[in-house]
Amino acid sequence: MSLSPDDIRDRADRYSAAWRALDPTAWTACFAADAVSHELYGATPAQGHAALKVLFHTIAGALQKVTIHAQETHVAHNRAAVLFHGQGIGRNGKPVEVKGIDVFEFNEAGHIQTFWAYWDPAAVLAKLRA
């Protein structure tokens, strides 16, 4: 199966929708069973659904609400680079904001095979921990 640019945009949107819903099942379903996530880039990557669920809960566990939307999506072959903007409310009641770029590589089945996230966690994590 070859993914069209619209298919790729749709799958990247599903990823964001799963975050907005804070739904670990929907989020994990976006990934191939053996997918690798570099969230954050430079950190130890998470590989496979079990590790991805831990990653999701580590981040989502600090949030009570999140909105995240693509500002720009650029597609090339089976990859998409997404400039995003997100806002949320931490479990501590404090607002957080994040801007960054996510890079998705999709497999033939339309699942995320490899994912790279580029954003600066220092300010976000400081607010969520405060």
Tokens of residue 67, six digits = 């909105």
- Give the predicted TM-score (pTM) of the model: 0.92
How much of the chain, in percent, has pLDDT values that exceed 90?
Answer: 83
- The residue written with tokens 């831990």 in the block is 54
The CATH number that applies at residue 84 is 3.10.450.50
Domain count of the fold of the chain: 1
Strand partners, 38: 116
Per-residue model confidence as pLDDT tens digits over 43-91: 899 999 999 999 999 889 989 999 999 999 999 999 999 999 999 999 9
How many C-beta atoms lie closer than 10 Å to residue 56's C-beta? 21
Identify residue 67 by its one-letter amino acid code.
T
- Residue 78 phi/psi, 5° resolution? -100, 25
pLDDT band at 1 (very low <50, low <70, confident <90, very high): low
Range of the domain at 15: 5-129
